[in-house]
Amino acid sequence: MDKDNMKISMAVIRRLPKYHRYLRDLLEKDIKRISSKELSNIMGLTASQIRQDLNNFGGFGQQGYGYNVEALYEEIEKILGLDKQYNTIIVGAGNLGQAIANYTNFEKAGFLPKCMFDINPKLIGLKIRDIQIMDADHMEEYIRRNDIAIGIICTPKEQAQSVADRLVKCNIQGIWNFAPVDLNVPDHIILENVHLSESLFTLSYLLNHRDEL
Amino acid sequence: MDKDNMKISMAVIRRLPKYHRYLRDLLEKDIKRISSKELSNIMGLTASQIRQDLNNFGGFGQQGYGYNVEALYEEIEKILGLDKQYNTIIVGAGNLGQAIANYTNFEKAGFLPKCMFDINPKLIGLKIRDIQIMDADHMEEYIRRNDIAIGIICTPKEQAQSVADRLVKCNIQGIWNFAPVDLNVPDHIILENVHLSESLFTLSYLLNHRDEL
């Protein structure tokens, strides 16, 4: 995929989940409508940025009224694909894999953890909530039989590329990668990385350069 | 650093840990020097981008020679503050907190997890590796006595802001926040967020808009 030619920039796309989160908080507080000015105050964006962002998807605001919170929330749910469900597997059942398996918010959002895989005999056969840890040798067969859309890689970096290669061969659609390595995958596979070390090291940089910020 | 070098964009800062990671991989492969062209190939950046990025910090390359991998790695270590050590605490000893406590790579990089805190009586008193889980009531006293630089928030979102407020009062320097909420902290506190849901929802968006990418 050539990200430079995308119609909507990655910066806008990465802000959408943030809109989703803030709108959900407003809904929980039973707030029915909000102006782009008010939304900009709570989100730390400018009102014009918000209007521009949402105009990418057709607007939604009404002059003099602002945004209908519930309607906008539901639209963004649909845009993000959160109105659907996705079968996922977690590869690597160590602490991080288990933390993700236990994180029920992802399941509530439609990302269903169907199975975990590991090569460690001490883990194979165990369950995290009701999610079985299976022998990684059975991964391909499981993916083919269970309509798995997303593979979540929580292995050490040394195993991550070979796991990704195996997921790609099984026609997985997307990979959510937590291993600290940049994976090579074909263009049609959606790859999203969470590089925790990079986040921590950015914090470290900022701590050490506070005087210059 | 002189005044001309004071303002470095967050985009450049966020690429520094990536340079660090790639250079470490090169060192592990015993590669002594690399041209900006070769580095650009493996990192997926342009050679000119790499030269520009590194020029923010004084250059390091030599015409016709390229970069000395070890020297550049060590410089970037220093720039990121990874030549120092930081005492950290983890607040919230659930699965994610435990995963982070168990992630020895952070410790190897100088981020020492000294203690964990929770309000759950079933967790208080347990140890993760040699890291004790203490009653959150004792957090302030512990921070003051143990020169804690960074607080890692792994609580549910409902508790995250009050934990952050308490950390700020104890003069913590930085907060690494995993709770799905944007925290309000004073300007002098360095705040770095890992919003896992936002990453997953971005993946979901991209999966659903592959035809438009």
- Mean predicted confidence (pLDDT) in B7-32: 92
pLDDT tens, residue by residue, A9-36: 888 999 999 999 999 999 999 999 999 8
Do the Cβ atoms of A193 and A177 come closer than 8 Å? yes
Residue B121 lies in a domain: yes
Give the span between the Cα atoms of A56 and A79, in whole angstroms: 11
Distance CA A192, CA A160 (A): 13
| B43 and B13 share one domain | yes
Q: Which of A6, A21, A194 sits opposite B199 (nearest CB)?
A: A194
Cα A210 to the center of its chain, rounded Å? 30
B26 is an annotated ligand-binding site residue: no
Give chain A positions within 8 Å (CB) of B81. Answer: 204-205, 207-208
Tell me which amino acid residue B196 is: L
Residue B59: per-residue pLDDT: 65
Cβ–Cβ under 8 Å, residues B112 and B169: no
Q: Within this chain, do residues B92 and B70 fall inside the same structural domain, yes or no?
A: no
Cβ separation A182–B82 shorter than 8 A: no
Residue B177: predicted pLDDT: 98
User: Are residues A79 and B192, on separate chains, in Cβ contact within 8 Å?
Assistant: no
The answer to whether residues B75 and B97 belong to one domain is no
Q: Is residue A206 part of a domain?
A: no
Q: What is the pLDDT of residues A30-73, one digit of tens each?
A: 999 999 889 999 998 998 999 889 888 876 767 777 899 999 99
A158 lies in the same domain as A94: yes
Q: Is A1 in contact with B98 (Cβ distance < 8 A)?
A: no
Q: Say how far apart CA A202 and CA A196 lie, in whole Å.
A: 10
Residue A213 included in any domain: no
Q: What is the CATH number of the domain that holds A64?
A: 1.10.10.10
Looking at the structure of chain A, the number of domains it has is 2
Average pLDDT over residues B179-185: 93
A-chain residues within 8 Å CB-CB of B213?
Answer: 1-3, 6
> Within this chain, do residues B159 and B100 fall inside the same structural domain, yes or no?
yes
Instruction: For residues B130-139, give the mean pLDDT.
Output: 97
C-alpha distances (whole Å) from B150 to each of A202, B26, B107, B179 are 13, 30, 13, 15
CB contact, 8 Å: B182 with chain A? yes
Q: Is residue A204 part of a domain?
A: no
CB distance from B14 to chain A under 8 Å?
Answer: yes
Interface contact flag, A205 B80, Cβ < 8 Å: yes
**Chain centre distance of CA A61:** 26
Contacts for A9 with CB less than 8 Å, ≥ 6 apart = none
A1/B176 CB distance under 8 A: no
Same domain, A14 and A30: yes
Contact A208 B182 (CB under 8 A): no
Which of A79, A105, A138 is a domain's end point?
A79
What's the domain range around A26?
3-79
Kindly report, residue by residue over A97-129, the tens digit of the pLDDT: 998 998 888 999 999 999 999 999 999 999 999
The answer as to whether A210 is a domain residue is no
Q: pLDDT band for B179, please (50, 70, 90 cuts).
A: very high
Q: How far apart are CA A32 and CA A13, in angstroms?
A: 24
| A107 and A184 both lie in a single domain | yes
> Same domain for B54 and B102?
no
Question: B79, B106, B135 — which closes off a domain?
Answer: B79
Which of the residues B1, B105, B207 would you substitute to probe the A interface, choosing the one with the greatest number of A C-beta atoms within 10 Å?
A: B207
Determine the Cα–Cα distance for residues A71 and A75; give it in Å rounded to an integer. Answer: 6
Indicate whether A120 belongs to any domain.
yes
Longest dimension (CA), chain A: 63
Q: At B188, which CATH number?
A: 3.40.50.720
To the nearest whole Å, the CA of A91 is away from the closest chain B CA by 15
Residue B144 lies in a domain: yes
Helix axes A47-55, A10-28, angle to 10 degrees: 110
Same domain, A73 and A104: no
Decide which of B79, B100, B123 is a domain's last residue: B79
Cβ partners under 8 Å of residue A4, min gap 6: none
Instruction: Give the minimum alpha-carbon distance from A212 to chain B in angstroms, rounded to a whole number.
Output: 5
Q: Are residues B124 and B26 in the same domain?
A: no
Same domain, A100 and A170: yes
Closest A-chain CA to B6: A212
**Residue B7 forms contact with A (CB below 8 Å):** yes
- How distant is the Cα of A17 from the closest Cα of chain B, in angstroms? 5
Res A4: pLDDT: 45
Cβ of B21 within 8 Å of Cβ of A149? The answer is: no
Q: Within this chain, do residues A100 and A141 fall inside the same structural domain, yes or no?
A: yes
Find the residue in B nearest to A198 (Cα): B17
- The reply to whether residue A206 touches residue B212, judged by beta carbons under 8 angstroms, is no
Asked if residue A193 has pLDDT above 50, the reply is yes
Nearest CA in chain B to A202: B14
Is A179 part of any domain? yes
Q: With a cut of 90, say whether residue A6 has pLDDT above it.
A: no
Residues of B in contact with A21 (CB under 8 A): 180, 195, 197-198
Could you give the ipTM of this predicted complex? Answer: 0.93
Chain A: closest CA distance from residue B99 (Å): 5
Is any Cβ of chain A less than 8 angstroms from the Cβ of B108?
no
pLDDT digits (tens, 9 = 90+) for B59-94: 676 777 789 999 999 999 999 999 999 999 999 999
